[in-house]
């Protein structure tokens, strides 16, 4: 059985077995669940299919959330991506896919919590984008999700993946780190490089607060899925170039957990601080709920 509490142990096991992290995780999950590997793979492929559908549905320019605060921006960004933009069409299309899934979630659509609904757009914006852009096979994309899940399990055990416990660093930060590691494996990187990508992504979102306006997973959550996607790509690129994180992934995860514990309650999903407490944030809350007390939906 794999040690789900250490990135170092995960990488060491893959190195000793002479296989990828995803192969190691698939085999381990099959043993734990007492199922054939083909069945475990099929279940993960179903999750990939949900991600693909949420991208498609989220691209509807007429899509709006129940609150009326968000929707339709993914279609705008995808259209803009056709011109290339500042960073090139590829990255813009990836960010548009992340936004599409997050907007679809806000509109009560079916998404894959990866690792949470609030961060559901980042893995589709990265791994599924490579599949849809013809840069990997379907099997490679499915296997990459096993790699992402392995890193997510370590983060969940050593720190947190919940905004209410660790702020948005625990949600979008964790998702970005998971995606960065998965991207490295997709591009043929080593387990150690995947670990460095995970660490770099976490470092770049350390301390990110959870401050949902009106208590809804919309503002600023949706746009943080976009930025988390960009960070996942940049982190993977650094690792693939041979650049290492001076702080090991496990220590970055532990630091994230400590930062989350020290973060005030007002900045952990309560909508009592940050952007939620701004004049405009309060006005939007009143627009949605009138004079009712703010509530949090996660």
pLDDT, mean of residues 172-182: 98
Distance between CA atoms of residues 248 and 82, nearest Å: 38
Mind listing the pLDDT tens digit for each residue in 184-195?
999 999 999 999
pLDDT for 252: 98
Distance between CA atoms of residues 161 and 172, nearest Å: 9
Mind listing the pLDDT tens digit for each residue in 95-149?
999 999 999 999 999 999 999 999 999 999 999 999 999 999 999 999 999 999 9
Q: Is the pLDDT of residue 297 over 70?
A: no
Mind listing the pLDDT tens digit for each residue in 16-67?
999 999 999 999 999 999 999 999 999 999 999 999 999 999 999 999 999 9
pLDDT for 298: 39
Distance between CA atoms of residues 121 and 105, nearest Å: 9
185-217 as b/e: b if 16+ CB within 10 A: bbbebbbbbbbbbbbbbbbbbeebbbbbbbbbb
Q: Is the pLDDT of residue 293 over 60?
A: no
pLDDT for 202: 98
Mind listing the pLDDT tens digit for each residue in 232-247?
999 999 999 999 999 9
Q: Are 258 and 135 in contact (CB under 8 A)?
A: no
pLDDT for 80: 97
Q: Is the pLDDT of residue 296 over 50?
A: no
Q: What three-state secondary structure class fits 35?
A: coil
Mind listing the pLDDT tens digit for each residue in 66-85?
999 999 999 999 999 999 99
pLDDT for 3: 56
- Confidence grade of residue 4 (pLDDT, cut at 50, 70, 90): low
- Confidence grade of residue 5 (pLDDT, cut at 50, 70, 90): confident
pLDDT for 10: 96
Q: Where are the alpha helices (DSSP H) in the chain?
A: 7-17, 21-33, 37-58, 73-81, 89-106, 122-123, 129-132, 138-158, 163-166, 172-186, 191-203, 221-240, 249-262, 279-289
Q: What three-state secondary structure class fits 115?
A: coil
Q: What is the CA radius of gyration of the chain?
A: 18
């Amino acid at each position: 059985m794999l040690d789900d509490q250490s990135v170092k142990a995960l990488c060491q096991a893959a190195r000793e077995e002479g296989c990828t992290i995803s192969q190691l995780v698939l085999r381990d999950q099959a043993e734990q669940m007492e199922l054939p590997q083909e069945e475990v793979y099929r279940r993960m492929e179903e999750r990939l299919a949900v991600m693909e559908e949420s991208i498609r549905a989220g691209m509807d320019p007429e899509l709006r959330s129940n609150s009326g605060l968000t929707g339709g921006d993914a279609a705008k960004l995808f259209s803009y991506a056709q011109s290339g933009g500042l960073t090139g069409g590829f990255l813009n299309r990836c960010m548009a896919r992340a936004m599409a899934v997050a907007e679809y979630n806000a509109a009560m659509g079916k998404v894959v919590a990866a690792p949470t609904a609030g961060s559901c757009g980042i893995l589709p914006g990265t791994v599924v984008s490579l599949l849809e852009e013809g840069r990997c096979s379907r099997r490679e994309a499915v296997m990459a999700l096993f790699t992402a899940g392995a890193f997510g399990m370590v983060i969940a055990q050593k720190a947190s993946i919940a905004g209410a416990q660790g702020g948005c660093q625990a949600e979008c930060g964790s998702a970005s780190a998971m995606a960065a590691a998965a991207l490295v494996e997709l591009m043929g990187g080593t387990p150690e490089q995947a670990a460095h990508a995970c660490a770099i992504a976490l470092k770049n979102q350390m301390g990110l607060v959870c401050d949902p306006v009106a208590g809804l997973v919309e503002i600023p959550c949706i746009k943080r899925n976009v930025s988390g996607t960009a960070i996942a790509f940049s982190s993977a690129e650094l690792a693939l170039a041979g650049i290492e994180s001076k702080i090991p992934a496990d220590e970055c995860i532990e630091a994230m957990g400590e930062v989350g514990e020290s973060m005030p309650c007002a900045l952990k999903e309560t909508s009592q601080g940050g952007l939620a407490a701004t004049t405009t944030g309060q006005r939007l809350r009143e627009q949605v709920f009138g004079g009712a007390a703010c509530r949090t939906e996660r």
